[in-house]
Structure 1
Amino acid sequence: MSIKETINSAKSGWMAGGGPEGDILLSSRVRVARNLKGYAFPHLLELEKAEQVIYAVQLALENQVLKDQANELEITRMSELSPLERQILVEKHLISPNLLTEYQKKALALRDDEVISIMINEEDHLRIQCLLPGLQLEKAWTLVNQIDDALEHTLDYAFSEDFGYLTACPTNVGTGMRASVMLHLPGLVMVDQVGAVLATISKLGFTVRGLYGEGTEALGNLFQLSNQVTLGHSEEEIINSLNSVTRQILTQERQARKALLHQRKDQLEDKVGRSYGLLKYAHMISSEEAMRRLSDVRLGVELQLITGPTSEQLTELMVMTRSSYLMHQREGKLNSMQLDVLRARTISTKLNQGG
């Protein structure tokens, strides 16, 4: 799949339904940060040096060892894409918002199925990422580790015997690993327990962020949970710890949903039914409201209160309804009212076809 095909499609490998714990957990992500010895960190790199880093990674990707491990990873420079195209990659969770700044220095290596992506000259020279549906942290780490080992056959990483892998941000020093899960927690939100649960998690050394990572909102009751510290912990310890905390949250969310079904079923059915009807028949809808209503419908589908749409289709609509994707499909600038009309039409078409 070419980068243009990736941008034109709202689907991605991590959206596939049927992942472990997929009723609550949308995706698992593991990424490692690596830097090349002898080069300044990306924010200090001049354009010429940044291009040298990209070229070095390209040579490593052409190494037959890596091809055997990861199939084809195609490099695209961010300068080759339009602002809308770059934003769509963020909305598909294939790159971070950081790759949008100083984009002339930056590039992306992406596997055909979009499960593996390597951000080049983001905060670090390499951010190797694997994104899988459901709770699959161990598998994601295995795939990332294979890519990392294969790249290291060619690339000379900045590494300290005392501190581990050296990174631009001190919190990434050590393993350089960040593991995260994307959780849909409408039950805990509705019973007004999500704040207490997330506050407890933060005290245990985990970070809770919004839909698109650091500094973003928890749109549609979606939260990203990740480890906060990498130094002094092995990759396996990080994975096991996150798995343990995640399973506790899954239990609490399921208890909240069960309580809602037993104690507030009429209210719950009314809420999800109204949202489903509005999404199917509204003439205009804002991005924020669309995310909120899609969250309600997803909850209704998982609790078997609604039949028709699948969780995979609802996840795809999270991308299809973003302003950047809608404008890209129309190949032109739309005002806010036109976007709201097109968004409603897009959702209605998808749901009425699916249901």
Structure 2
Amino acid sequence: MAKHELAKRASKWMEGTGPQSDIVLTSRIRLARNLKSIPFPHLLNDEGQKEVIDKVVQAVNTTTVTGTFGKMDMLLLEYLSPLEKQILVEKHLISPAFAEKKKGGVALNADETVSIMVNEEDHLRVQLLMPAFQLEETWKAADILDDALEQTVDYAFHEERGYLTACPTNLGTGLRASVMVHLPALVLTKQAKKILGSLPQLGLAVRGFYGEGSEAQGNLYQISNQITLGLTEEEIINNITLVVQQLIDQERSARNRLKEELYHQIDDKVNRAYGILANARIISSEEALKLLSDLRLGIDLGMIKDVDPQILNEMISFIQPGLLQGSQGKTMNAGERDLTRAKVIRTKLAQQRR
């Protein structure tokens, strides 16, 4: 994959199709792995980091990997511009912390369902990212990839502690499973704070759009496990699946309540959002996300017709500063981005009305 394609192509998760896709945008599995007898990344010199990258390149190019997941391209951070790194963050292919590093690499397959960060906090951060509520299927794919990689590289593993990781919180399975959910009705009915606030008691973390350290925008939340040690991978997946299914049921109930009890107020709210998005000449990413969330709610409640419900999935990333500049092929200041963002959204909605 050429670097210039990063901003041009949509990731598979942006398709927005699959089980419960009106509420769950993505399912993600991330595995923390380290190579046996090699120090953790923060202890490696340049030569040691290159050795790890070379081993991973060899592993991802085996037919065992490519036969299932396709060709993998390794992008080295030292050859990426700050804008290109930002685009990778906005597409959820690397972490914001990794984007700050000067050394390391990320291996990507063609549809960007697979991304492997190399020399982030651990030697490998293997990620599978799929659309909608497909956590079990995503885990199965990640497990297959993990086994395929292990045929070439030796992982650091302890019989009692499990996979050895740079941070003790990832010991054991090294597994972080997460789903991104859209919960506008729970927010509007003022139930979200209480419900989401109870999840840490169940061993789950609630984070914003870009994961750890980020704020929730556009009524989008990431729900993930906090515990990796003492549970099997299947138990972790089952726990999250049960809790997220309850969240889905509560969001659906709240949506039905809004439609039955506050129909005219919600109808006005979502059509105002549509009107602003379809006509605004200047718009910030924060305002756009809020209005796109309202628009998607209106589509899901049947109040807005002739607009593809997947518009939220695609636009939440492509209106972000990095992707916006990358897709236009030029750098822009904040004012220019706000002008361009509004034009991109207007054009997208106009195309859907034809």
Identify the TM-score tier after normalising by the shorter chain: over 0.9
| 1:244-268 deviation digits (Å, cap 9, x = unpaired) | 0000000111111111111111110
Counterparts of 1:308 and 1:107, CA distance in 2: 42
Secondary structure of the equivalent of 1:31?
strand
- Residue aligning to 1:309: 307
Q: 1:203 aligns with which of 196, 201, 204?
A: 201
TM-score, normalised relative to structure 1: 0.97
Moved more, 232-241 or 32-41: 32-41
**Whole-Å separation in 1 of the counterparts to 2:100 and 2:50:** 16
Contact 1:178–1:226, Cα closer than 8 Å, also in 2: yes
User: Which 4+ residue blocks in structure 1 deviate beyond 3 angstroms?
Assistant: 329-333
Q: Percent identity?
A: 49
Alignment match, 2:248: 250
Once residues 250 and 129 of structure 1 are traced to their aligned partners in structure 2, the CA distance between those partners, rounded to angstroms, is 24
Give aligned pairs, total.
353
2:77 counterpart residue number: 78
For residue 303 of structure 1, report the CA deviation from its aligned partner.
Answer: 0.9
Q: 1:162 matched to which residue of 2?
A: 160
The TM-score with structure 2 as length reference comes to 0.97
Answer yes or no: is 1:178 the counterpart of 2:179. Answer: no
Q: State the Cα distance separating 1:318 from its structure 2 match.
A: 1.0
| In structure 2, C-alpha distance between the alignment counterparts of 1:7 and 1:53, rounded to whole Å | 28
Deviations 1:154-209 (A, max 9, x none): 11111001100001111110010000000000000000010000111111110000
- The residue identity in structure 1 corresponding to 2:18 is G
| Superposed counterparts of 1:1-355, under 5 Å | 1-9=1-9, 11-103=10-102, 105-355=103-353
Q: Note closer, same or farther for the CA distance 1:80–1:7 as it changes in structure 2 (3 Å cut).
A: farther
Where structure 1 has 5 or more consecutive residues not aligned to the other structure, the ranges are: none
* Aligned counterparts of 1:263 and 1:113: Cα–Cα separation in 2: 42
| Equivalent pair of 1:27/1:133 in contact (CA under 8 Å) | yes
Residue type at the aligned position of 1:262:
E
CA contact (8 A) 2:7 2:327 kept: no
Q: Secondary structure at the match of 1:225?
A: strand
**Shift in Å at residue 322 of structure 1?**
0.9
**Structure 1, residues 1-23: CA drift from partner, whole Å, max 9, x if none?**
544323322x2101113210001
Q: Alpha carbon RMSD of aligned pairs, Å?
A: 1.2
Q: Residue deviations 1:98-154, cap 9 Å, x none?
A: 221223x21011111111111111111111111111111111111111111011111
Letter in 2 for 1:165: Y
> What secondary structure does 2:7 align onto?
helix
- Decide whether aligned partners of structure 1 residues 62 and 331 sit closer, same or farther in structure 2, where only a CA change above 3 A counts: closer
CA distance in 1, matches of 2:314, 2:163: 36
Indicate conservation of the 8 Å contact 1:2/1:112, yes or no.
no
Q: What is the CA–CA distance in structure 1 between the aligned matches of 2:292 and 2:145, rounded to whole Å?
A: 35
Q: In structure 1, what residue type is equivalent to 2:160?
A: D
1:328, CA displacement in angstroms? 2.5
Unpaired stretches in structure 2, ≥5 consecutive residues: none
